[in-house]
Amino acid sequence: MGRLTEILRLAQQRARDLALAYEGALTPPETWEVLQHAHGARLIDIRSRAELDWVGRIPSAIEIEWQTYPGKQLNPQFIVELKHAVDHESLLLFICRSGVRSNAAAKAATEAGFPDCYNVLEGFEGDKDATGRRNSIGGWRKAGLPWSQS
């Protein structure tokens, strides 16, 4: 069994264990490995434009807002934009700030007929620490994965 298969099986088992409504759940380092080994895998960053501008971007991620800023209104065109941005059969990896909104996006994409949807656990910034700050407990940035400040 290759490393890609091993990672995806682990992510799929997590989804079963957590009774998730999509294919699997990946850690940020696992996500990075999948992106390196799975030709056609796409990272979908669903954070708002404000988050992307103020907090940072992931190179090569497809940016489609799940919620708008300000107001946190759901993007009614999310699935339409996703259909225009990716091939229907692509392996889709959804990321947000902490993994909560991307959970909802992965579920919505699955319900819309995309067969291989995964959530990136911990998201870009991870959970809040005891002082209420992010980027010290988990997340894409804490893992030292590629990102840039706009």
Query: Which residue carries 């103020």 as its tokens?
Result: 54
64-97 per-residue burial string, b: 16 or more CB within 10 A, e: under 16: bbbbeeeeeeebeebbeebeeebeeebbbbbbbb
pTM comes to 0.95
Do 129 and 135 touch, CB atoms closer than 8 A? no
Q: Which domains does the chain have, with CATH numbers?
A: 3-120 (3.40.250.10)
Summarised one tens digit per residue, pLDDT across range 60-106 is 999 999 998 888 899 999 999 999 999 999 999 999 999 999 999 99
Query: Which residue carries 């870009």 as its tokens?
Result: 124
Helix runs in 18-99, H state only: 28-37, 49-55, 78-85
Summarised one tens digit per residue, pLDDT across range 102-142 is 999 999 999 999 999 999 999 999 988 888 888 888 999 99
